[in-house]
Amino acid sequence: MKKIIYSILSILFVPTILMLYSYNSGSPGGKTGSTGDGGSTCTQCHAGTANTQSGWITTNIPFDGYTGGETYTITVTGTHSGVVKMGFELTAETLSGTKKGTWIITDAGRTQLANANAAVTHTAGGTSLSGNTSTWSANWTAPTSGTGSIKFNTAVNAANGNGMTSGDQIYTSVKTVGEAAVLNPEIVSVNPDSGEQGWVGNIVITGSETSWNDGVGVVIFKYHDNTNITLTPANFTVSSNTVINASFNIPNDQQIGMYDVFVDNISMENGFEVEELELNPQIVSIDPDNGRQDSEGDYLISGSETMWTEGIETIVFKYHDDNSITLEPQSITIDNDTEVTVVLAIPIDQQLGVYDIYVDDIMLENGFTVDILDAITDELISGVNIYPNPAQNYLNLDLPEGSEYRIVAIDGRQMSDFKSDNSTNKLNVSNLENGIYFVQVKMNGESFTKKFVKN
């Protein structure tokens, strides 16, 4: 009878020993103590109570959390004094206990998949130690965005190697990681949001949930109705994750209208408008501003806010008191947007007086004077000085001694006639009507005329 009992006990005991030794080559699965594993740990087979440890699970997941689809390394490290072997199981779940992510074995000698590939456990060769410590690692690919926080649970068996369930120590550890915020980067403002053709200045582009400190490759404005028409900054500077400063020099001929603003692959539709340049073109001067009858020379006409390089159709000088009397240049040379050189050949019988200058549809009133024909030398020119000009009551004349001078109205009428006995003469002009007059100086058969204004 005793032999029969011993035989029965032997039959029951042998499978138990085989089962215990079979776990030497890996966990049966579902023993991490996680919610999804029903809280079950290795204590279901090994005696004792599981001790909770912090910091036994480490990862290279950033502090901000994991990103869906990215792969990370998860490491379990267990330590126990006097241990002979160590085994483990590791899993990843949502807070409610649903297994998530994909495990990838990176050290097949020490680790393998378990629990229908939802966990990682040790192999027979993975129970070896380094001193009192054992370490296992595997890669984990994060689930799709929107999964939420993930808990990594592990149970570690520090075994004494006696082949029995007694004397072993079970440890558990948990690490929770959050999901990185899913950004929705966008451009929220462009300041200023418009500029005229020809405008030069700085534009501030502001973003939301942008990470521009990580690097910006391209800043470009594209014409909304034809993206082949572009406007690019001369340079740009990333001031912060959400601010870019860009310097622009908008060409005079830039297409007017709305432009979409692009910073790399994010855009703001109709974020900037190029406005038509509103110019106030003017003729500001002609140099020289007078010419004598029967003379020919070059004259430089200067403008402001003009765009003469686009073309000039007509330049004409019109007598101020009778626009039917004109003087037209022999040739026109456009030097740049604000300067044009003309060659004038003034006929000997050209009407004396003041002429308005027309360049297409802009005009400089009283801009040019046709003077009396002179026979003149440099010596006579250097000896004549008239001031102040304009004059109100008196006109001072520095003239060569012995010269003769007269005052001539713009219509050719002689107003007075004098002889200069001194080098400096003071002439009372208070009785003259306001307007333009000429002082004609004669000496030794030569003459020289200078214009002055009475006001």
Fold of 2-177: Immunoglobulin-like (2.60.40)
DSSP string, 192-235: S-EEETT-EEEEEEEEES--GGG----EEEEETT-TTSEE--SE
The CATH class, in words, for 378-454 is: mainly beta
- Mean pLDDT confidence for 329-355: 94
Distances (CA, A) of 279 to 202, 203, 256, 296, 362: 21, 22, 15, 33, 12
Integer angstrom CA distances of residue 312 from 252, 318, 326, 436: 17, 17, 18, 31
- Euclidean distance between CA atoms 197 and 252, whole angstroms: 5
Predicted pLDDT at 34: 96
pLDDT in tens, 21-40: 446 789 999 999 999 999 99
* Euclidean distance between CA atoms 237 and 232, whole angstroms: 13
Task: List the one residue out of 347, 351, 365 whose CA is nearest residue 286.
Answer: 365
Is the pLDDT reported for residue 416 higher than 90?
no
- pLDDT value at position 3? 45
- Give the residue from 393, 442, 392, 399 showing the smallest Cα distance to 420: 399
Q: Does the pLDDT value for residue 325 go beyond 80?
A: yes
pLDDT at site 430: 92
Q: Give which of 173, 224, 367, 226 is closest to 284, Cα–Cα.
A: 367
Q: Which residues pair with 191 in a beta bridge?
A: 204
Q: Which residue has the higher pLDDT, 132 or 376?
A: 132
Q: What is the pLDDT of residue 87?
A: 94
Q: What number is the average pLDDT over the span 377-398?
A: 81
Question: How many residues make up the chain in this entry?
Answer: 455
Q: What is the Cα–Cα distance from 32 to 172, expressed in whole angstroms?
A: 7
Q: What percent of the chain has pLDDT over 70?
A: 89
Write down the pLDDT at residue 16.
39
pLDDT at position 13 is 41
pLDDT tens-digit series, residues 216-249: 999 999 999 999 999 999 999 999 999 999 999 9
Instruction: Look up residue 208 and give its two tokens.
Output: 């939301």
> What's the CATH superfamily of 282-371?
Immunoglobulins (2.60.40.10)
Q: What is the mean pLDDT of residues 326-336?
A: 97
Give, in order, the Cα–Cα distances in Å from 311 to each of 306, 327, 358, 360, 361. Answer: 11, 21, 14, 10, 13
Mean pLDDT, rounded, for 425-429: 89
pLDDT class of 373 with cuts at 50, 70, 90 = low
186-275 folds as: Immunoglobulin-like (2.60.40)
Within the chain, all domains assigned CATH 2.60.40.10 are found at: 186-275, 282-371
Query: Euclidean distance between the first and final Cα of the chain, in Å?
Result: 151
When pLDDT is averaged across residues 259-270 and rounded to a whole number, the result is 97
Nearest-5° Cα angle at 408, 379 to 443: 25
Where do you find CATH 2.60.40.3080 in the chain? 378-454
Q: Where in the chain is the domain with CATH 2.60.40.2410?
A: 2-177
Tokens 């001194």 found at: 422
The confidence band for 44, taking pLDDT boundaries of 50, 70 and 90, is low
- R_g over Cα of the chain: 50
> Which one is predicted more confidently, 388 or 440?
388
C-alpha closest to that of 92 among 35, 19, 48: 35
Q: How confident is the model at residue 294 (pLDDT cuts 50, 70, 90)?
A: confident
